Structure 1
């Protein structure tokens, strides 16, 4: 599958409410406070390729000690949402009725990502970023800096907030000196088509130009889907060291 199972917007709304309620009850956002709000212990360990895990039996949240600080913080918030979901019998029952097997696992992971972004990014920071940047790609690093989160976490928060057809993507070289490919992407709830991870960015595309010139670009162009289709879009590209944040708005541009 190229993207997580489509999760009902009502489920997303309820997970965002769980996250906001938890944040209001436990306003301190440092790592220990996030875990202790559950009555859980926090431990860092070498988890190999796993980012983290929640052990409800022992009240323990494990986070990969080798991950970046931003990734560790998002993983902790993700596991907190996992715990809150386990405590919400009604929502958990609805998810089991709606999905099964791998689709259920992917739906829960998607919800936990949405909830984690809501937990870490305040409504004030989110609205302030949209007021300053609208749908431009420059809003992603600005929000990440203000909220102390990773670029991908900021992208999730902004995509959930957007009311227009929007794709946010992070592109970087597939190898040293190689062409750009999409490494991460999210869509707004009214955007029907995802931009798959691994999609190459064509030479001369605004995202490619922003990477090679080091300059932000905002212009009318297209979404470079892997299929070769070129959907017209207003493209905003903002270079960040060895990667580029891109925003594709397909209507109302």
Structure 2
């Protein structure tokens, strides 16, 4: 009887130990694996878009701009930008990852590190934007994580990017969001619009994970335990 109980407990523990599988990761240590709506660039006037802490991260033979903010909490390279239309880029700027294989992988979750450097009293205005979208099998993009301009110091100006009760600051913060649906191929899109001096953003360490659904295993474990119990009772009754 004890062996049966221990066997059932072990089965249930195995059911709850399903590990998250990383199906996508982006370190921003180089510019491979994604496309951008505008090429990386930098000038000497605080207008830039590219990869900080990466060789040629703002374009071939383009020096790292002096205006890159001193964020904390990022590891290695990270994607950053400020005053994105300063060199004529069309806003918003988008970054796309396409064709991520998610076949047979339910319960998807996105995670990423985000920051916006704090300059007193705040820089973000009501017309700025920062959000992440996803689509499965070309079914159309939907927003999975959004930072809304708010906490303004002056009407609709000089605020912060906010998400719920949290606001972005100089230190990178990790955010997660579920991706609803199942299918074969996942596309991700980062959309950013900041159009004035000191309006900036930085992101790093994007990932998508999938946790196998334990439902089938749970059902089989329950059936097995029930069967063992019935068999045990019959054995006792016949003895």
Q: If the TM-score is normalised by the length of the shorter chain, which range does it land in?
A: under 0.3
TM-score of the pair, normalised by structure 2: 0.26
- Which has the greater radius of gyration? 2
User: Is the helix fraction higher in 1 or 2?
Assistant: 1
TM-score of the pair, normalised by structure 1: 0.25
